[in-house]
């Protein structure tokens, strides 16, 4: 109980454990990594207690990574898959540039 209330009661003391010099960008990158790991665990291990062997666990993780990086739609990409997003970026514009 004391541990959970400490940041609320003494916010300056709560920061004492953080390493100095950590920028907001580094914290953001770590937060994204934690989010991806949590999503992986939730989607890969859902309704599953064990894998038969290490190979099966690795294949399951590989399938999830492949789906996440190519097929799964991401909210930050406008609900498009990474492949569709990159394809849209590579498509040349059909409108002409304005004349100077």
What is the predicted pLDDT for the residue at 53?
92
Compute the half-sphere exposure of residue 27: CA atoms within 13 Å on the CB side of its CA: 7
Better-scored residue on pLDDT, 23 or 1: 23
Better-scored residue on pLDDT, 86 or 99: 86
Better-scored residue on pLDDT, 12 or 86: 86
Q: State whether the Cα torsion 12-16-22-24 is positive or negative.
A: negative
Q: Render pLDDT for 32-80 as a digit per residue (tens, 0 to 9).
A: 788 888 888 888 888 787 889 999 999 999 998 888 888 888 888 888 9
Average pLDDT over residues 83-97: 79
């Amino acid at each position: 109980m004391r541990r959970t209330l400490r940041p609320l009661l003494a916010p300056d003391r709560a920061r004492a454990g953080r390493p100095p010099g950590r920028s907001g960008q580094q914290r953001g990158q770590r937060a994204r990594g934690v989010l991806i790991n949590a999503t992986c665990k939730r989607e890969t291990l859902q309704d599953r207690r064990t894998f038969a062997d290490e190979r099966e666990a690795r294949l399951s993780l590989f399938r999830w990574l492949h789906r996440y990086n190519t097929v799964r739609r991401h909210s930050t990409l406008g609900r498009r898959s990474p492949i569709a997003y990159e394809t849209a970026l590579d498509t040349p514009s059909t409108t002409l540039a304005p004349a100077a």
